[in-house]
Structure 1
């Protein structure tokens, strides 16, 4: 027999990546903190981030240059105040990470008495070397360091294998005002919905790239925080701007495996199935054109030819060169029966980053009192129409610190939390139609890829909207009649996020940054973020 279970904390953090764990550590000296992780504590997009974190550490660099580069990458619709705040706070936040134990790479031949100089790399869009990194596994270094610190802290409670189901607000309970007081959560181990009450809730759930057929993200990136915030009454913004990485390995046994842009930098060619190159026909920079141009070119060739993939070929380089420069990729491909030293690698573009999200202020505060959103789940105005490389982990840490300051200031004024009713399962049954979920899941990701992917048209968006509204009706009915499961919760959230992406895309009557509509190929002179509100739906 199931029992009603209720937990109590000062702060509930939903999500356990760089944003969530940084916030937990900043708050723990002042509050009792509970961190909810859908899977293992180490699983999430942070763990797989390869590049690094942008911050001004070089005397020849400047905050103003970092700001200017970010504004250019964002295609004219970044919030300049937010960009300046992020760039000017970056160094302090990185020094905090270093203090916590993140071992960023240093310049060689330093002695113990030398002033520490970090090895800084340069990436696309940056005019200076300003990328702190730990080899090519920076995210792993950040995540494992933060996990270790969180697990040691006596005032942080970690709850692994818990899905957040929905936020609980005073409005939802029929009480005065509208503030968040906790969340219903699903305990995956005993398959029971439980209650966590908290004076403050922070969403740090990451992005929504799992809404697409091909993605570089881990399975947990299912847009949960965006969907829950929308259902609670929060506005969202810029959901039409989905960043696609041009080259993800196309193989049934290789989900989420990226093929670094350094391959093209070292001379790899993109080819059609017949072995002919196509990038020189598209752009004078050929394979070294910007990421959005390369992704659109691959997408166009796949659609034009009806092909499942294109090919990335570096086999004209010596084997010794390939193995030395790309050992991880070489080993991975070999395990899958692909010898990249002698044959081309099948590739497709993959959804990589959600530039839009839950609308927040400079403190991570959403439209609803007590509810914060930080990291990829949020829209702060930092990224505009396109995220610049290595600004993503930076945003996580900067806004975790900003949200922590705001919450700490409000902790002395927290109110008594009202009673929350237990989750009612009296009218639902166990599902005997799991195949319905699998079919809907496949249909959603396929039509989002085909109709709301790298290149869009009004007709494709209209078709997608009709499909997603039909799916919503089916899933709402399913949700009303059956007990929750991981697949049901994620699919419910992804369908909601898909609708938000489509509505935002339909409102933007231009092509800008990551949003390209063949019916509106030019940029408007006067443009800004796309903001939509639940009150208008």
Structure 2
């Protein structure tokens, strides 16, 4: 398939902020060699992607589900703690709303939070009806526990500490049951490269999204680079963990959805709010890749944090001690590390009893044993590591992004639910609730003829390719710049380093006999990592305060003037534009 040339665009918008940052509008990749068509394309197979695909299958004639690995390989699989919902008669959606707003540190969208907490219980009960098996209390009701930031027991869990795996199993089983349905096709081992867009508007505004390009590895007739065309695309691609040196995210979490949306001209929001989980197994400063998470639920059951001198330090930091919001605990740990000159603190669960720990946390217990640590008898060395991204593609209350035809759900989206800091176990619920809403909205608009197929056009701007060998350098810059604790000097140094990364690895340089790298998976993923790190650093540098997951040592306190969202996009010339957007119902600061 050959894309039609883009019309000339003399109306490039001037950047308000982020001046000097210019990024490519598409990845360097071969022309698509095959084409598929559907009414909706869903990208991702975590809770959001699977929910959207299953819901759409019953409402539109043809759905295409694309996943980077196999169906059961999304980030949902790794969620230990549980899913939060006001299921207990003594709890309420309003109490859940209050806890979420407090954790979000003043920059949540209350409308989105209200949707989450009011629709959440029904969506969880639908999961149960669909085959998800949650742990039960003695009276037969779903067993509920508590995690950081919650003032009620409202965390439903499965298999003790394998909630995500059980939810993924149940949703994949539902999808497997309809695999023979001609109305749904699943393409596994497919990396989405770019969003396809239609003609730009008269003022150069981005065209409607009308599909994706993707690269498939070894899938028979669906092999190599192809194009999947549809009037609606749902991005449910998960997080950005591999932007950092240390993360609990799977290796697939390279920010593909955020980067593709950015290149297409979509608005991103709250990118600077990155959640670093306080208790990730510490195995040495040189360890890389996906790290072992020790769930917040362990602290929820009563485990303590001690420094390497054996001192319990959290009661002096926050009234909720070890159950304070995650940003508070992570920052307290980093501060304590500096005081003691240590590289980790210690998690002490020994007083909870061996039988209880083995029964309640079988997965964590087994994973720790693989590293020679017994949760029932040993102190567990832990330190913060990147865990969750509260920002993403800006959406409304039904998942619509700023580009016509584009939707986002799950961690890749910025719904406004999380604000500056996600409340524990709200992530699975957000993916479930908003994917359901997005699917229904798509079906209504497709049925009404509001979303119709369009022919894609080549977007203006250059192509980019970053060599896979550059990834460790990018991760080092991201970890030292927009890491757990940030500063203006550190962020400026990171921005300068990221600007120095070569982004034309596919181009033969002057005096060179070849290229640095060819377009392939490692290079495409590394290009996405670089673009996400670049925009994240820019927004973190712009926000001159500390709030939630964004902690500046040079601006250590929150500032009401920053009770707003920083939105970022690329203009028609590829220049990074950031805008300060008031929160719902707020008046812009003077």
User: TM exceeds 0.5?
Assistant: yes
Does structure 1 conserve the Cα–Cα contact (< 8 Å) formed by 2:197 and 2:456? no
Please state whether the residue corresponding to 1:532 is helix, strand or coil: strand
| 481-490 or 347-356: bigger deviation | 481-490
CA distance in 1, matches of 2:47, 2:455: 32
Q: 210-219 or 288-297: which moved more? A: 288-297
Give the deviation of 1:14 after TM superposition. Answer: 0.7
**1:302-381 superposed matches below 5 A:** 302=337, 308-312=343-347, 326-339=361-374, 344-381=379-416
1:245 correspondence with 2:277: yes
Distance across 2 between alignment mates of 1:209 and 1:193 = 25
Matched, 1:30 2:59: yes
Give the number of aligned pairs.
Answer: 520
Q: Which moved more, 1:467-476 or 1:234-243?
A: 467-476
Once the two structures are overlaid, the 10-residue window that deviates more, 169-178 or 210-219, is 169-178
Q: Following TM superposition, by how much is the alpha carbon of 1:119 offset from its aligned partner in structure 2, in angstroms?
A: 2.2
Give, in whole Å, the separation in 1 of the partners of 2:316 and 2:549: 17
> Cα distance 1:97–1:455, how it changes in 2: closer, same or farther (>3 A)?
same
**Secondary structure of residue in 1 paired with 2:433:** helix
> Bigger CA drift: 202-211 or 60-69?
60-69
Match of 1:20 among 31, 45, 49: 49
Partner of 1:530: 566
Q: Which one of the candidate residues 150, 173, 190 is aligned to 1:126?
A: 150
Helix, strand or coil at the partner of 1:529: strand
Deviation at 1:347, TM superposition (A): 2.5
Q: For 1:124-523, what aligned pairs fall within 5 Å after superposition?
A: 124-134=148-158, 135-153=160-178, 154=181, 155-171=183-199, 178-189=207-218, 192-251=224-283, 252=287, 255-264=290-299, 266-272=302-308, 275=309, 277=311, 279=313, 283=317, 289-300=324-335, 302=337, 308-312=343-347, 326-339=361-374, 344-412=379-447, 413=449, 417-419=453-455, 437-438=468-469, 440-471=470-501, 473=503, 482-523=517-558
Displacement, 1:327?
A: 4.6
Q: Is contact 2:206-2:265 (8 Å) kept?
A: no
Question: Could you say which structure has the higher helix fraction?
Answer: 1
Contact 1:54/1:132, CA 8 A, preserved across alignment: yes
RMSD: 3.3
C-alpha displacement of 1:282:
6.4
Contact between 1:241 and 1:515, CA under 8 Å: does it hold in 2? yes
469 and 127 in structure 1: CA distance in 2 versus 1, 3 angstrom threshold: same
Given that residues 282 and 297 in structure 1 are in contact (C-alpha distance below 8 angstroms), is that contact kept between their aligned partners in structure 2? no
Task: Decide whether aligned partners of structure 1 residues 72 and 270 sit closer, same or farther in structure 2, where only a CA change above 3 A counts.
Answer: same
Counterpart secondary structure, 1:407: helix
Q: Which residue of 2 aligns with 1:113?
A: none
Distance 1:145 1:157 in 2: 19
C-alpha deviations, 1:263-308, integer Å up to 9, x for none?
5554444333xx4547369637665554323322333455677755
SS in 1 for 2:541: helix
1:24–1:284 Cα change, 3 Å: closer
Distance in 1, matches of 2:297 and 2:120, equals 26
Q: What do residues 87-117 of structure 1 show as CA deviations (whole Å, max 9, x unaligned)?
A: 111122222222221122333244xxxxxx3
Measure, in 2, the Cα distance between the counterparts of 1:473 and 1:442.
15
Q: CA deviation at 1:492?
A: 0.8
Mean CA deviation greater in 295-304 or 372-381: 295-304
Q: Give the Cα separation in 1 of the matches to 2:522 and 2:560.
A: 43
- 1:114 — aligned with what? none
Note the 1:42-81 alignment, pairs <5 A. 42-81=72-111
> C-alpha separation between the residues in 2 aligned to 1:253 and 1:511?
28
Partner of 2:126: 96
Gaps of 5+ in 2: 1-29, 510-514, 577-590
Q: Distance in 1 between matches of 2:431 and 2:310?
A: 42
The superposition leaves residues 434-485 of structure 1 with CA deviations (integer Å, 9 ceiling, x where unpaired) of 9x523x1111112211221111110001011111111253557599975422
**Residue of 103, 109, 117 corresponding to 1:87:** 117
- CA-to-aligned-CA distance 1:180-236 (integer Å, 9 cap, x gap): 111110012277211111121110001112211111111111111111001000111
Aligned residues of 2:162 and 2:363 also touching (Cα < 8 A): no
Unaligned runs of 5+ in 1: 111-116
Over 3 Å counting, the alpha-carbon distance change for 1:308 and 1:61 in structure 2 is closer
User: Shift of the alpha carbon at 1:49?
Assistant: 0.9
Do the aligned partners of 1:199 and 1:414 also contact (CA within 8 Å) in 2? no
Kept in 2, the 8 Å contact 1:170–1:176? The answer is no
- Confirm or deny: 8 A CA contact 2:211 2:231 kept in the other structure: yes
